[in-house]
Amino acid sequence: GQPIPPATGISSVIRKKLMGYVGFANLPNQVHRKSVRKGFQFTAMVVGESGLGKSTLINTLFNTTLYPPKESLDPSAERPKTVAIESIGADIEENGVRLHLTVVDTPGFGDFVNNDDSWKPIVENIESRFDSYLEQENRVNRLKIVDNRVHACLYFIQPTGHSLKQLDIEFMRRLHTKVNLIPVIAKADTMTDEEIASFKQRILSDIEHHQIHIFEAPTYENEDEETIAEAEEIRSQIPFAIVGSNNFVVTPDGRKVRGRAYPWGVVEVDNEEHCDFVKLRQMLVRTYMEELREHTNDVLYENWRTEKLVSMGVAQDSSVFKEINPAARLQEERVMHEAKLAKMEAEMKMVFQQKVQEKEAKLKQSEEELYARHKEMKEALEKQRLDLEDKKRKIETGRPITPEKNATGRRKGFLRT
Ligand code: GTP
């Protein structure tokens, strides 16, 4: 056995040879050759109340014992409670395709009287992984980016058969904008098939009611029938009802299987009739690994990054440099302000000149009018003067002024007798 990793959150890497077929060699069908050569990085996280079998499932999930089996520590001891966020890595290889798988185990919650903030360290862990990716993206050398972002988050739901708990709703609401949420019903061996079927329906309607976004497996269209059928089958099983176990037990018909033995029979982990474990694994590593990675990068990370930059007051455009550099921003603001003032001044000048010109034109016009009238009056007066002078001359020379004749031609003042 391997030594148990320290519960410090430090990732430890265990190199494992696969015990059996996992299915991620199918990945070349999902992505381009380049990523195949580089290998894949995939990180899954398990979240849920304490004791729901999260650590057990991690071991069961990838068909490889990431966690050292508890028997190697002390056969009588229970698997210790997870008390800190632990991350365990494994390099696994299948048909020449390398996968670096990391599983993040989070401490179970719900044990305290007040569980209000138990989501915080988990959300912070997810965000710090985004942070580290952003920091790498901003480096000059972007060739060696390590993608430690959480690509899938398995959310464990207690097999109560009732509706979702308030605590589950709170957790999922905190997580759904940051990770691909995949709800699973834990310890499904404690419920009957009918109970599981109706519990699944209730969980889905609760999730819809509370507007929680869970990972939506995309439908394939231009694929072969088998792939479409497989994808559809997986979609229809969400939330997966799972059973975890690292122990091999012998079935009544003599097969050695991973499962849980009960007085009434054996529950087989890898038997699709017994639980959805195989479907869950198929979804993660075979059918939707690339979609999970893509959605994490294109939507969840991108939204987080935009929000973060906006909260830092950085506009998402080419003026980023000026925004970051306060001196350059001030300088630019001053130049713009000055240009605005100059423009206003020029406009005022123009309007002023226009007004002056209008006034001048008006004045000139009235001056001309005045001059014309003045000239007219002067001419009239001159004519009067000439007339008067003419009369005066006639009087002085003694010539009687011819009285005006009336209309009858007679002199005025004479009456006919
Ligand atoms: P924390 O570390 O407190 O978060 O717990 P955990 O969720 O990691 O649970 P863990 O894997 O330690 O399992 C708790 C107990 O549940 C162990 O005794 C497991 O053997 C048991 N267990 C795990 N998976 C299953 C399951 O599918 N069905 C049943 N019936 N028991 C299970």
Q: Ligand 1 centroid vs 52 CA: distance in angstroms?
A: 5
pLDDT value of residue 124:
92
Averaged pLDDT score across all residues of the chain: 79
> What is the residue with the minimal CA distance to atom 10 of ligand 1?
53
Q: Ligand 1 centroid vs 249 CA: distance in angstroms?
A: 17
pLDDT value of residue 156:
95
Q: What is the dihedral of CA 58, 59, 60, 62, to 10 degrees?
A: 80
pLDDT value of residue 414:
45
Sorted by sequence, the CB contacts under 8 Å of residue 270 that are 6+ apart come out as 257, 258, 259, 277, 278
Count Cα atoms within 13 angstroms, Cβ side, for 122: 29
pLDDT value of residue 71:
44
Q: Strand locations in 95-170, DSSP E?
A: 97-105, 152-157
Sorted by sequence, the CB contacts under 8 Å of residue 244 that are 6+ apart come out as 53, 56, 57, 59, 60, 61, 269, 277
pLDDT value of residue 78:
56
Q: What is the pLDDT of residues 140-164, one digit of tens each?
A: 776 678 889 999 999 999 999 888 9
pLDDT value of residue 62:
61
Q: Which residue's entry shows tokens 């206003």?
A: 344
Q: Which residues are 261's β-sheet partners?
A: 266
In angstroms, rounded to a whole number, what is the distance separating the alpha carbons of residues 54 and 48?
Answer: 7
Q: Ligand 1 centroid vs 15 CA: distance in angstroms?
A: 24
Whether the pLDDT of residue 323 is over 80: the answer is no
Whether the pLDDT of residue 263 is over 70: the answer is yes
Whether the pLDDT of residue 75 is over 60: the answer is no
Q: What is the pLDDT of residues 84-94, one digit of tens each?
A: 788 887 777 76
Q: Ligand 1 centroid vs 308 CA: distance in angstroms?
A: 37
With a Cβ cut-off of 6 Å, ligand 1 is lined by: 50-56, 78-79, 81-82, 107-108, 187, 189-190, 243-244
> What is the residue with the minimal CA distance to atom 29 of ligand 1?
187
> What is the residue with the minimal CA distance to atom 19 of ligand 1?
53
Count Cα atoms within 13 angstroms, Cβ side, for 329: 11
pLDDT value of residue 351:
85
Entry pTM: 0.67
% pLDDT > 70, the chain: 75
Q: Ligand 1 centroid vs 402 CA: distance in angstroms?
A: 149
pLDDT value of residue 399:
66
Which ligand 1 atom minimizes the distance to the CA of 156? 7
Q: Ligand 1 centroid vs 278 CA: distance in angstroms?
A: 18
Q: What is the pLDDT of residues 324-374, one digit of tens each?
A: 667 777 777 888 888 888 888 888 888 888 888 889 999 999 999 999 999
Distance of CA 250 to the CA centre of its chain: 50
Whether the pLDDT of residue 11 is over 50: the answer is no
In angstroms, rounded to a whole number, what is the distance separating the alpha carbons of residues 220 and 299?
Answer: 20
Which ligand 1 atom minimizes the distance to the CA of 275? 27
Which ligand 1 atom minimizes the distance to the CA of 60? 24
Whether the pLDDT of residue 305 is over 80: the answer is yes
Which ligand 1 atom minimizes the distance to the CA of 244? 27
Q: Kindly give the interhelix angle for 302-311 and 120-137, rounded to the nearest 10 degrees.
A: 90
- Do 281 and 287 form a contact (C-beta atoms < 8 A)? no
Q: What is the mean pLDDT of residues 49-60?
A: 86
pLDDT value of residue 119:
86
Which ligand 1 atom minimizes the distance to the CA of 79? 12
Pairing verdict, β 240-241 and 97-105: unpaired
> What is the residue with the minimal CA distance to atom 23 of ligand 1?
53
